[in-house]
Amino acid sequence: MTRALITGVTGQDGSYLAELLVGKGYDVSGLVRRLSTPNLSNLGAVRGRVAVLDGDLLDQSSLDHAVRVAQPDEIYNLAAQSFVGTSWQQPVLTSEVTGLGALRVLEAARRFADGARVYQAGSSEMFGNSPAPQDESTPFLPRSPYGVAKLAAFHFARTYRESYGMFVANGILFNHESPRRGEEFVTRKVAAWAARVARGERPVLRLGNPDARRDWGYAPEYVELMWRALQHDRPDDFVGATGETHSVLEFVSEAMSVAGCTGPVEWGSPEVARPADVFDLRGDASKARRELGWEPQTRFRGLVGIMVRAEISRPY
């Protein structure tokens, strides 16, 4: 039985990945940090089938211990402070968790999991405003502390691959969303608002930049890329994206259309303003299609439909 260790297993991607691997017959362990209020709700479908190991990306000894207990064949490092906006409020913490945390995972793998394959969760945020479409050869120009931390993690991963001959693959994934997205991200925020409007409420949706463009895909399809990257014949770096880009304004319009109603929207809210933003992300995932046979199926309208309908049927 193949053994996998997932960091960030309680998050959006970690929970979908756990479902994918359990479905493939893996023995799955998940790293979970101690919180005063436990947060395992995303693991509902596979909760009893994932071995929960205590640990934190800030604490090397807990990672060493988790790797020694899990004895993984595959390690997926998905844990991060993943909200770009917060990375300006907590730049040092973000760098510690999202950047150095990845290094700690690599060190634990190097010392205690001989031969294990490692996936590092890189991000399109590493490209910053490099012109679209972005692929594996596009220059990295990060514009947020989060993007810088992810880029450090990306280079640590490559360095461990080249220095120690470890099988370390980097994903460079563009935005991917689902009903399990954190509530502060723009897609979930808009979908939740559209559902309230559909119920007859009149909440005001306060957003930032309407013109920011993102390449939004559907998260369960993106965890498939992670798995395929570790089944490949060599460790490499892969962009994961739909190849389509849409603005935040378009997302709001489509959400209202799915909900069948309109509501009040205010743009330029100072509450969500960022000191710098990334304006136009559109990925070219040709390499993943060619080498991994990976291709996302869900497009923009399908994704907005999934998210708004999930919010409408969510108990409140």
Give residues in contact with ligand NDP (CB under 6 A).
7-8, 10-14, 31, 33, 35, 39, 56-58, 78-82, 97, 121, 123, 173, 175-176, 182
Cβ 16 to ligand GDR shortest distance, Å: 14
Does 289 help bind ligand GDR (rule: CB under 6 A)?
no
Stretch of 109-117, 151-159, 202-210, 294-302 lying at the interface with ligand GDR (CB under 6 A): 202-210
* 144 CB-near residues (< 8 Å, 6+ apart): 84, 87, 88, 125, 274, 276, 278
3-state helix, strand, coil in the chain (%, to 5): 45, 15, 40
222 is catalytic: no
Does 120 help bind ligand GDR (rule: CB under 6 A)?
no
Does 125 help bind ligand GDR (rule: CB under 6 A)?
yes
Token pair recorded at residue 158: 């490559």
- Amino acid at site 111: R
Residue 310: phi and psi, rounded to 5, are -65, -40
Residue with Cβ nearer ligand GDR (30 or 208): 208
123 is catalytic: yes
Residue 276: phi and psi, rounded to 5, are -150, 150
Strands, E, within 162-223: which ranges? 167-173, 176-177, 205-206, 213-214, 217-218
Residue from 54, 162, 184, 295 in contact with ligand GDR (CB under 6 A): 184
Chain residues in the site for ligand GDR (CB under 6 A): 82, 84-85, 123-125, 174-175, 184-187, 189, 207-209, 212, 214, 248, 272, 274, 277
Give the residue numbers annotated as catalytic, written as ranges.
Answer: 123, 125, 146
